[in-house]
Structure 1
Amino acid sequence: MIEYRPLDEDHRKAFSEYVGYGFTPESGPVDFDPTEDDHERMQLGARRGLFDTESAADDPLVVCLHHWFDALVRGDHHPSPGLSMVASPPEHRRKGYVEELLARSLAEYRDRGDRFSLLWPFRYRFYRQFGWETASARHAYTCEPSALSFARDRLDEAGSFRPVEAEEYERLASVYDAMAGRYALSIDRSDDWWTHRIFTGWDDDPYAYVWERGGEPRGYLVYFVEGSWGDRSMRVRDLAFRDTEALLALCAYLANHDSQISELSFTLPTDVPLRDLATDPEELDCELSNGPMVRLVDAHETLPALSYPAADEESVTLAVEDPLVDWHDDPLRLVVADGTPTCERVPGADPDLSLDVGTLSQVVVGYRTASDLARLGRLDAPDDVVATLDRLFPRDQPYVDTGF
């Protein structure tokens, strides 16, 4: 019999070894260090595992970590766990244990009343088969510091930078919240997340600087400097800004490291026109990369919990194809009247359209509209049904810059 349950003190070693082998096999077997496992970073999240109750050994077959996040969807924060650290030793692979772990995790989320699941995949196609889908995109920039020197010429002297310690994280959090409020799926960071993940590194802690104007935090950078003299790089872990002026201030700050740093790397939302601001955009290497994946936990519970445009009554009946759980077996009828939604299961009803749970997830969070997906051949429905979905779920701008 397979059992899903929390990992306890006796499983710390197995969790560490599974994760180490799963994500850094090139490091070779590493002896378990309980002191390292006691690090505050490692205490964030809830550890879970699958166990064979008929085995004499009480070692898990596969493990994972749940972060109890809230994420912004349709203007409101909804409980949206972050799933990470899915790992198993090679002797337990290709036996369906990861699939079982994912299904049991979703059942736990459903029992908790969670609405969405987020994860950063090691491979998108692996998790797509279980119902998760790409939820956002971002621009990853690489450049020399001098490529950002244009910002110095456009910035006045009214603001100033200063270093920030972990106990002052709330000054950064106010900027983060202001920027995150503009993007769907942004994660509401906890105090512990700021202290132990943003301001804390594995070996060395990062630098953190805030740009203030009139005593008010307007932008910030959290970054690491790596390498040695002549070949140093700066990797920006986290940044946020309230407006274009603050973005220019951050760019000017980075440009001022041209005597120390050979290369910068940072990410921005796709709607931030950095290349349009630059004097020579060809000096900015820009790669479009995928963000995390998203999945509805239970559409019947999630759809009526969302905010909708206030309009005349709209209704649609959906058949949701789900490869992992059975609570989407019956069609759902969503009705929205004057912005107030209701959703009911309608066994045996003829749906207006059938779609997989990953496709529905993309529509719901605003990453793709129904019209987008119809053009891509991923959604087959009459034009009036597509138009109804477009009105209920207009396009949004998802962006997740919190790694987990």
Structure 2
Amino acid sequence: MKIRQISAAERPASMFPLQAYAFTPSPWPPEEIERYRRRMRFFETAVNLVAEEDGETLAAVSAHRMRQNVRGLVHDMAGVASVAAHPSARRRGLVRALLTELLRQCRDEGCAVSSLYPFRPSFYAKFGFVGIPRQRITTFAPEGLSELLRVDLPGEVERLPMRDGFEAFDGLVRRLLPERHGFAFFDEARAAEFREDPVWVAVARSGGEVVGALRYKIDRHGGDLIGEELLCTGPLGRALLLEFLARHVDQLARIVLGVGTDDVPELWATDLSAVTEGKVDYPRDNAPMARVLNVPALAGSRVGSGAVTVEIVGDDLIGGVWRLAGEDGQLTVGAGGTPAATLTAAGFSALVYGVLDPVEVLTRGLGDVPAEAFGPLSALFPKQMPYLFADF
């Protein structure tokens, strides 16, 4: 078996048959391959690895070059995707070998963190990944927002095809990136494909500044407006977008939106009846996972106070003894010392991403955390739910 890095131009012949069989309806029509080939200009910066045997591609993995906010610090991130193997080659360790090489290479090329959507979380947990929250979906009838139509808000909403609204949308996403924990987005090469999406984008502006945006489709008259993430810089941007949605009251039965883990749709209006859920059902509705690839790169993250030394075990990328301290609200990282707790890579990543506290790390089997280390670790890494915006 040979591992080889391939270019975007090679993906249609080598990776497409594997990932299409794994993730799409099949057999696929011939024109689907051509459609995929036309998309390759957006994958020029991706890292693509394949496992070959006798000239045949048996397994493949890829990483999109992305940026992610982790506790206020924006890092280069490896967005792992297109993990697939030929059915006859599964259970042979090919994907394991590819992922090990991919994560090492991405770390060496400057990625401090990595995220993915797993086909089976327990498989990726062995690579140091830990679960983070899935995006919530809220569903409600537009008449529940009718009270917003009586308010004169300082701003306006423009409805545009994505090709015309892309610059405003992309600019808002990149503005939100350094502000929201867990938020991630693609580099310019990959993000450019969104310009061609056949969707509407509602752009909210106030004083000429973009304060909100929503990508959406309408499936039919009397049907659903299906929105992606409701993005806004604050309450005004959200209110402007919701007021725009309220104007669809006689056109649609329901509005379906993606929202962050800290959004509370039932409080958007007095008479709004909303169902908000975060459905996780593998392998179709997957919750994301994330991990740290480089501990020293975390220096400067926004953390609490105190200091603690931990040992990370069982991981070739971040294993070792690390002294972690919060100084003036920022993390400092040093090597060596006497560890107060022993963590797996997944346990350490859970604390950094803010999804588990030290007690939960212990009960989940992600580390040996003595009771006296609960307080220092909790103070340094208070729980803070990340919102992984990008789906890849």
**Structure 1 length-normalised TM:** 0.83
CA distance in 1, matches of 2:156, 2:304: 44
Question: Aligned-pair distance for 1:362?
Answer: 1.3
1:166/1:195 contact within 8 Å kept: no
The residue number in structure 2 matching 1:39 is 39
Is the CA contact (8 Å cut-off) linking 1:185 and 1:398 kept in structure 2? yes
1:334: which partner in 2? 323
Q: Which moved more, 1:85-94 or 1:33-42?
A: 33-42
Paired position in structure 2 for 1:131: 128
1:1-400 equivalence runs, <5 A: 1-7=1-7, 9-24=9-24, 26-31=25-30, 33-39=33-39, 43=43, 45-52=45-52, 55-56=53-54, 58-153=55-150, 155-164=151-160, 166=163, 168-197=165-194, 199-201=195-197, 205-226=198-219, 228-230=220-222, 232-281=223-272, 283-289=273-279, 291-299=287-295, 301-303=296-298, 305-307=299-301, 309=303, 314-322=307-315, 326-328=316-318, 331-336=320-325, 338=327, 339=330, 341-344=332-335, 351-374=339-362, 379-400=367-388
Higher deviation after alignment, 141-150 or 263-272? 141-150
- What's the TM-score once normalised by structure 2's chain length? 0.86
Q: CA distance change for structure 1 residues 252 and 117 in 2, over 3 Å: closer, same or farther?
A: same
What SS is found at the alignment partner of 2:213? strand
What residue is the counterpart of 2:283 in the other structure? none
- Paired residues of 1:4 and 1:104 also in contact (CA < 8 A): no
Question: Which runs of 5 or more residues in structure 1 are unaligned?
Answer: none
Relative to structure 1, the CA distance from residue 50 to residue 36 in structure 2 (aligned partners, 3 Å threshold; closer, same or farther) is: closer
Q: For each residue in 1:246-281, what CA deviation from the matched residue of structure 2 results, as whole angstroms up to 9, or x when unmatched?
A: 212212222222333233221111222221233245
Amino acid at match of 1:27: S
Q: Give the match's secondary structure for 1:183.
A: coil
Supply the distance in 1 between the matched residues of 2:149 and 2:227 (Cα, whole angstroms): 19
* RMSD of Structure 2 on Structure 1 (CA): 2.9
Deviation at 1:23, TM superposition (A): 0.4
Taking a change above 3 Å as real, the CA distance of residues 229 and 188 of structure 1, as seen in their structure-2 partners, is: closer
Seen in structure 2, the aligned counterparts of structure 1 residues 66 and 189 have a Cα distance that, compared at 3 Å, is: closer
Segment of structure 1 superposing worse, 177-186 or 114-123: 177-186
Q: 1:352-371: CA deviations, max 9, x gaps?
A: 22222112101012222325
Give the whole-Å Cα distance in 2 for the aligned partners of 1:178 and 1:7: 31
TM-superposed CA distance for 1:206, in Å, is 0.6
Determine the C-alpha separation between the residues in 1 that align with 2:303 and 2:33: 53
Q: For the residues of structure 2 that align with 1:27 and 1:397, how far apart are their CA atoms? A: 37
Residue pair 2:308, 2:340 contacting (<8 A) in 1 also: no
CA drift at 1:68: 0.7
Please state whether the residue corresponding to 2:236 is helix, strand or coil: helix
Q: Does the C-alpha gap of structure 1 residues 143 and 308 become closer, same or farther in structure 2, counting only changes over 3 Å?
A: closer
State percent identity of aligned pairs: 23
Shift of 1:385: 1.5
Partners of 1:265 and 1:340 in 2: how far apart?
Answer: 39
Using the TM superposition, give the Cα deviation of residue 160 of structure 1 relative to its aligned residue in structure 2, in angstroms.
1.6
